[in-house]
Chains A and B, each alone.
Chain A
Amino acid sequence: MDTLVFLVAAGLARGSVLALFAISLVIVWRAARVVNFAQAAMAVVGVYAGFALTAATGSYWLGVAGAVLTGALLGVLAERGPLRLVPRDNPLPGMIVAIGLVMVLQAGLAIAFGAAHRPVPAPFPQRPLSLGGVPVLSPYDLFTLATAAVVMAGLAWMFGRTSLGLQLRAAAFAPETSRLLGVRVGRMVTIGWAVSVAVAALAGLLLVPTELGLSPHAADILFVQAFAVAVIGGLDSPPGALLAGLGVGILTSLVTGYVTAAAAPLAVLGLLTAVLLVRPAGLFAAREARTA
Chain B
Amino acid sequence: MAQHDSGGNGPALQTDRLGRRYGRVWGLRDCTLEIPAGAVAGLVGPNGAGKTTLLEMIIGLLEPTEGEVSIFGEASHAYHAATLARVGYVAQDHPLYRDFTVGDMFHLGRSMNPGWDQGLADARMGALGIPVKRKVKQLSGGQRAQVSLTMALAKRAPLLVLDEPVSSLDPVARQEFMREVTSAAAETGLTVIISSHVVSELERLCDWLIVLAGGHVQVAGPADDLIAQHRMGFEELVMSYLSEEAVTR
Do chains A and B stick together as partners?
Answer: no
Interface residues of A (CB under 8 A from B): none
